[in-house]
C-alpha cells in the first residue's frame, strides 16, 4: 500500500474549471509492503514490540495526565487563595469608613500586598511548569498587562528570516504585515569617571598664559560629582537605604568607598542645601493653610550611652482639594522635644489656618493669628478602636455618620472654595448637627469612664474646630496630607534605627524635606503641568528635573536633586569665600 505525505499544501496556481493543478512543494512516497517481515514468528515479534511500545506510551500519557491534573489543582488552589486575598484587600479599601461588620480587621494594606506578591509568583511558576509540559498549547493571559509609558525610549529590533526567498519554492517573498510587541528593559546602574582637562594657552608675543577656570564643585577636590552625591542622598532618604548598605553596593561594583566618606558627602550636601530648605520653609509659612503634625525620631545620646527621643515637626501643604494653584510641599523641622515651645518657635510668624489633631500645644497657639481646624480622622479613629472589638452599636453608628461626611467631600474635591462651602452648608451641616445631638444623647446614657465616653468627649470638646470646615472651603476634613508625609520618615527611621546626633537629625530633616517636596512633581502631575517646583518670585529653582543645567555630563537623577546641587558657573574652585552652588544663589536672592 502506498501513502503520499504532503509536506506543504501550498498551491502555486489557482483552481481551474476543467482541472486542479496541485504542484506540491515537498512530497515523498513511502512504501510499507516491503518493510514488513514475511514469516509468522517475525510478525509475532513485531506485534509484541508494537504492543509494548503502545503500553509504554499509554503509561507515559497517564503519568502526564496525572501531572497535568496535579498542576491544575495547584493552580486552582492558588487562584482561589489569590482571589480571596484580593477580595480582602478590595474590601479594606472600599469600606475604609464603613461600619464594623463591613470592615476588615486591622491589617495594613501593605501586608496584604506582600501576600498577593507571593501568591502571584506561585501562579506564574505554575503557568511556567504547565507551559513546559505542553509547549505547543497557546498560552492564555488572564491579567491585563497594561501599556508601557510613552515617554520611555524605544529600542527597535527586527527579527526577520535570514533569506528573502521562499524556503519551499525558492521564489522571492514580499512582506504582507508584521507583529509588534513591547517588553520593558532595564540598563543597570553604571558608574563612570569624569576626567576634566584644562589646557593652558600661552601667547608667543607677550607670554601671557590663559587657562579656563576650573568648574565649581560641590566638594572641593572631592571624588564625587553632584549626581553621585544626589544618588547617595536619594538612596538614603528617598529609598531608605542606610549608608553602610550603599557602601556594600558600591563594593560590589569594585568601588571601595567607606561609609564615613558617604556620611561626609551627606553632611556637606546638607550644609549646601540648608539655605534652600530655609527658603522652602518660608514659602510654606506664607501659605493660607497648613497641616501640622509631629513624629518621634530616636537620636543617639553619646553622654548617656543610649538613644533619646527627638521629634520631627512636619508642615505640609496641598491645595488641590479646593483648586489652589500653589504646588504641594513638605518640610520637616527637628526639635529635641514635643513641647509647646518648639511649636511656637516653628509657627511664630505664621498667619492662617492650621489643621492638626487635638494635641494640647496646638490649642495654645494665638487665636488672633492662627485658626485651628481639627482632624475628623482622629475623631473617627477613637470610635473605630472601639467598634473593631465588636458589639459597639454607638461607635458603629458614629462611624456611619462620619462616613456620610466623607462621601459628600468626595463629590466636591477639586472644586473652588466657594463651591465647597456652599455644598457643605447645604448637605454637610445637617449631618454635623445630627451627629452632635446623637453624641450628646449617648454621652448621657453611658458610663463616664467607659472608652466610648472618652471618644465622645474628644469629639465634643473639639467640636468648634471640627465644624470649621463648614464655613471655609479651603479646610479639609482631616490632616491626612501631613500624616502621609510622615510615612517615608518612619521607614527611614526603621532601617537606620536612630540618628547619630542632633546635627544628624537636622541634616535628615533638610534633605528629606527637599526630596519629599520634589516627589510632589511626580505625584501631582496636574499641579505640575509645567516643570517648576517653586514659584520663581521666591527665588526657588524652577527645574525639578535631573537635567544637566550647564554641566553636560550630569545625567538624569530622580527628584531633580542634582539640579539643586549643581554649582553656579563662573566661580573659581579655589575661591570659596562667596559660597558656591545653590547655597550662594539662595543667600544672594
Asked whether the predicted pLDDT for residue 534 surpasses 50, the reply is: no
For the segment 405-439, what is each residue's pLDDT rounded down to a tens digit? Answer: 999 999 999 899 999 999 999 999 999 999 999 99
Task: Supply 214's cell numbers.
Answer: 576650573
What was the pLDDT predicted at 16? 38
Q: What residues are paired with 499 via a beta bridge?
A: 299
How far is the C-alpha of 534 from the C-alpha of 516, rounded, in Å?
Answer: 13
| pLDDT band per the 50, 70, 90 thresholds, residue 499 | low
How far is the C-alpha of 29 from the C-alpha of 40, rounded, in Å?
Answer: 27
For the segment 145-191, what is each residue's pLDDT rounded down to a tens digit? Answer: 668 888 899 999 999 988 888 888 889 999 999 999 899 998 888 89
The half-sphere exposure of 363 on its side-chain side, counting CA atoms within 13 A, is 9
Task: Supply 508's cell numbers.
Answer: 535628615
How far is the C-alpha of 345 from the C-alpha of 538, rounded, in Å?
Answer: 22
Cα-trace Rg, the chain: 35
User: What's 338-366 look like in SS3?
Assistant: CCHHHHHHHCCCCCEEEEECCCHHHHCCC
For the segment 4-60, what is each residue's pLDDT rounded down to a tens digit? Answer: 333 333 334 444 334 433 333 333 334 445 567 778 888 888 888 888 888 888 988
Alpha helices by DSSP H, 446-545? 451-461, 463-466, 480-496, 502-523
Task: Supply 226's cell numbers.
Answer: 553632584
User: What's 524-562 look like in SS3?
Assistant: CCCCCCCCCCCCHHHCCCCCCCCCCCCCCCCCCCHHHHH
Is 74 within 8 Å of 126 (Cβ atoms)? yes
Task: Supply 119's cell numbers.
Answer: 501568591
Task: Supply 205's cell numbers.
Answer: 608675543
How far is the C-alpha of 561 from the C-alpha of 404, rounded, in Å?
Answer: 42
Q: At what angle do helices 393-412 and 451-461 cross, to 10 degrees?
A: 30
Is 354 within 8 Å of 362 (Cβ atoms)? yes
Mean pLDDT over each residue of the chain, to the nearest integer: 75
| pLDDT band per the 50, 70, 90 thresholds, residue 532 | very low
CA 309 to chain centre: 29
How far is the C-alpha of 265 from the C-alpha of 260, rounded, in Å?
Answer: 9
Task: Supply 231's cell numbers.
Answer: 544618588
Q: Cβ neighbours of residue 562 under 8 Å, at least 6 residues apart?
A: 226, 227, 230, 546, 554
Assessment of whether the complete model's pTM goes beyond 0.85? no
Q: Locate the domains of the chain by residue range.
A: 47-133, 271-523
Is 508 within 8 Å of 499 (Cβ atoms)? yes
Amino acid at each position: 500500500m502506498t501513502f503520499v505525505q504532503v509536506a506543504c499544501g501550498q498551491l502555486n496556481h489557482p483552481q481551474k474549471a476543467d482541472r486542479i493543478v496541485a504542484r506540491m512543494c515537498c512530497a515523498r512516497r513511502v512504501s510499507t509492503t516491503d518493510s514488513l517481515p514475511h514469516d509468522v514468528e517475525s510478525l509475532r515479534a513485531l506485534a509484541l514490540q508494537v504492543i509494548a511500545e503502545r503500553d509504554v506510551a499509554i503509561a507515559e500519557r497517564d503519568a502526564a495526565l496525572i501531572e497535568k491534573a496535579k498542576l491544575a489543582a495547584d493552580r486552582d488552589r492558588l487562584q482561589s487563595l489569590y482571589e480571596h486575598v484580593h477580595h480582602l484587600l478590595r474590601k479594606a479599601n472600599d469600606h475604609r469608613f464603613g461600619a464594623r461588620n463591613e470592615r476588615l480587621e486591622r491589617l495594613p494594606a501593605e501586608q496584604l500586598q506582600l501576600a498577593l506578591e507571593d501568591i502571584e509568583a506561585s501562579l506564574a511558576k505554575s503557568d511556567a511548569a504547565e507551559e513546559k509540559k505542553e509547549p505547543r498549547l497557546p498560552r492564555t493571559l488572564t491579567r491585563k498587562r497594561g501599556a508601557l509609558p510613552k515617554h520611555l525610549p524605544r529600542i527597535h529590533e527586527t527579527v526577520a528570516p535570514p533569506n528573502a526567498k521562499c524556503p519551499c519554492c525558492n521564489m522571492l517573498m514580499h512582506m504582507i504585515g508584521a507583529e509588534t510587541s513591547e517588553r520593558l528593559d532595564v540598563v543597570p546602574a553604571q558608574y563612570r569617571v569624569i576626567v576634566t582637562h584644562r589646557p593652558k594657552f600661552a601667547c608667543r608675543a607677550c607670554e601671557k598664559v590663559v587657562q579656563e577656570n576650573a568648574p565649581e564643585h560641590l566638594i572641593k577636590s572631592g571624588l564625587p560629582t553632584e549626581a553621585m552625591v544626589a544618588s547617595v542622598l536619594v538612596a538614603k532618604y528617598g529609598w531608605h537605604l542606610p549608608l553602610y548598605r550603599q557602601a556594600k553596593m558600591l563594593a560590589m561594583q569594585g568601588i571601595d568607598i567607606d561609609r564615613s566618606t558617604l556620611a561626609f558627602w551627606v553632611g556637606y550636601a546638607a550644609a549646601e542645601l540648608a539655605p534652600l530648605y530655609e527658603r522652602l520653609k518660608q514659602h510654606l509659612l506664607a501659605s493660607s493653610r497648613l497641616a501640622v503634625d509631629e513624629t518621634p525620631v530616636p537620636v543617639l545620646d553619646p553622654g548617656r550611652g543610649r538613644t533619646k527621643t527627638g521629634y520631627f515637626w512636619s508642615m505640609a501643604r496641598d491645595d488641590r482639594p479646593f483648586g489652589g494653584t500653589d504646588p504641594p510641599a513638605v518640610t520637616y523641622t527637628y526639635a529635641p522635644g514635643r513641647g509647646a515651645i518648639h511649636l511656637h518657635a516653628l509657627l511664630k510668624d505664621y498667619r492662617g489656618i492650621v489643621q492638626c489633631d487635638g494635641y494640647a500645644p496646638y490649642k495654645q497657639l494665638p487665636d488672633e493669628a492662627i485658626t485651628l481646624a481639627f482632624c475628623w480622622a482622629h475623631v473617627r479613629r477613637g470610635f473605630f478602636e472601639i467598634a473593631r472589638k465588636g458589639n459597639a452599636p454607638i461607635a458603629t453608628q458614629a462611624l456611619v455618620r462620619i462616613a456620610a461626611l466623607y462621601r459628600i467631600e468626595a463629590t466636591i474635591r477639586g472644586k473652588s472654595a466657594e463651591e465647597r462651602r456652599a455644598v457643605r452648608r447645604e448637605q454637610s451641616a445637617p449631618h454635623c448637627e445630627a451627629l452632635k445631638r446623637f453624641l450628646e444623647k449617648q454621652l448621657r446614657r453611658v458610663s463616664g469612664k467607659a472608652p466610648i465616653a472618652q471618644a465622645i468627649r474628644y469629639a465634643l470638646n473639639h467640636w468648634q474646630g471640627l465644624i470649621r470646615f463648614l464655613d471655609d472651603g479651603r479646610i479639609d476634613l482631616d490632616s491626612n496630607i501631613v500624616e502621609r508625609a510622615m510615612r517615608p520618615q518612619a521607614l527611614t527611621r526603621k532601617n537606620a534605627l536612630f540618628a547619630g546626633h542632633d546635627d544628624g537629625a537636622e541634616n535628615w530633616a533638610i534633605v528629606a524635606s527637599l526630596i519629599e517636596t520634589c516627589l510632589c512633581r511626580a505625584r501631582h502631575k496636574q499641579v505640575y503641568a509645567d516643570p517648576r517646583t517653586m514659584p520663581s518670585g521666591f527665588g526657588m529653582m524652577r527645574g525639578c528635573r535631573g537635567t544637566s543645567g550647564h554641566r553636560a555630563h550630569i545625567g538624569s537623577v530622580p527628584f531633580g536633586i542634582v539640579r539643586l546641587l549643581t554649582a553656579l558657573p563662573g566661580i573659581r574652585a579655589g575661591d570659596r569665600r562667596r559660597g558656591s552652588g545653590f547655597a550662594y544663589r539662595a543667600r544672594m536672592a
